[in-house]
Amino acid sequence: MNTQILKTITRRPRGTIAHLTVSRPSKLNALNTSLLLSLSSTLKFIESSNKDLLAVVLTGAGPKSFIGGADIAEMASLDSPFAAREFISKVSDACSAVRNCPVPVIARVNGYALGAGLEIAACCDLRIASRNAVFGMPEVRVGIPSVVEAALLPGLIGWGRTRRLLMLGENIGAEEALNWGLVEKVVETEELDDAVEGWLGLLEGNGPLAVRKQKALMRIWEDSSLDQAIRAGVDAFGESFVTDAQGETEPKRMMGAFLKGKGKRS
């Protein structure tokens, strides 16, 4: 299978689901420059060409690896601080494309999630892992620090556990990752697709505009004081009641359906 980002677009009654697969299985789906650029451009194209996009599922090709890290052979060839900055900026750009996607991105972690692969997973909104998944930040073992979106890890797992991963360079299994809060769910390998589908079904039942606003608001929360975050929430709530092209608001439509259903049950 060629090195590429594979995409599958599924049209559903409530909107579109995109499945993206990092495909470089012979190298554990390690990210080289070509894959990094392709991941960023593919995500942006999907967002712009599918206005009814509900969610993106990101995974790796084959049974062994989600993303095994950044390409070590390419990094070993970097011959100057300038070249190193150029390469790591591409890693950060790919991470930013995941974080800035306006809809939830689900990491389907089907094996190794190491280094840049764990950073990509940390950038996703939700993470579900097979029981054989392995997580780690082994950069110090090859003479470099963990950088860029590794900065997200303290917010997920705390400073102590982040230091353990980044300074010791050890790997942890799926159950420990679940206990740490690094992933939200662990299932048997053969149950991984059904579990992802369960989450997609829940997203389909929600207000699509509300979900997009929720993600955007949470991004604001990450960079704001508590007072700023609360004020941003007031604005987001008010914006939810903007009338759409049909002369309705999403809250009115969905709350009306809820109240009608509640009346039928009473």
Per the annotation, the verdict on 250 as an active-site residue is no
Domain boundaries, the chain: 4-204, 208-265
Would you give the distance in Å from CA 17 to the centre of its chain?
14
Residues whose CB falls within 8 Å of the CB of residue 20, separated by 6 or more in sequence, listed in order: 5, 6, 7, 39, 42, 43, 46, 56, 57, 58, 59
Three-state SS at 244: coil
**247 pLDDT tier (thresholds 50, 70, 90):** confident
Q: What is the pLDDT of residue 199?
A: 98
Question: Which tens digits make up the pLDDT trace of 97-147?
Answer: 999 999 999 999 999 999 999 999 999 999 999 999 999 999 999 999 999
Mean pLDDT, range 144-151, rounded to an integer: 97
Q: In this structure, what are the phi and psi dihedrals at residue 204, rounded to the nearest 5 degrees?
A: -65, -30
Would the pLDDT of 263 be above 80? no
Residues whose CB falls within 8 Å of the CB of residue 77, separated by 6 or more in sequence, listed in order: none
**37 pLDDT tier (thresholds 50, 70, 90):** very high
Would the pLDDT of 266 be above 50? no
- Compute the half-sphere exposure of residue 97: CA atoms within 13 Å on the CB side of its CA: 22
Strand 105-109 with 53-60, pairing: parallel
Would the pLDDT of 8 be above 60? yes
| Token duo for residue 18 | 């995109």
Question: Which tens digits make up the pLDDT trace of 215-227?
Answer: 999 999 999 999 9
Would the pLDDT of 1 be above 60? no
Which is the catalytic residue, given 47, 74, 119, 250? Answer: 119
pTM of the model: 0.95
Would the pLDDT of 151 be above 90? yes
Mean pLDDT, range 69-92, rounded to an integer: 97
Per the annotation, the verdict on 197 as an active-site residue is no
Architecture label for domain 4-204: Alpha-Beta Complex (3.90)
Which is the catalytic residue, given 139, 149, 197, 204? Answer: 139
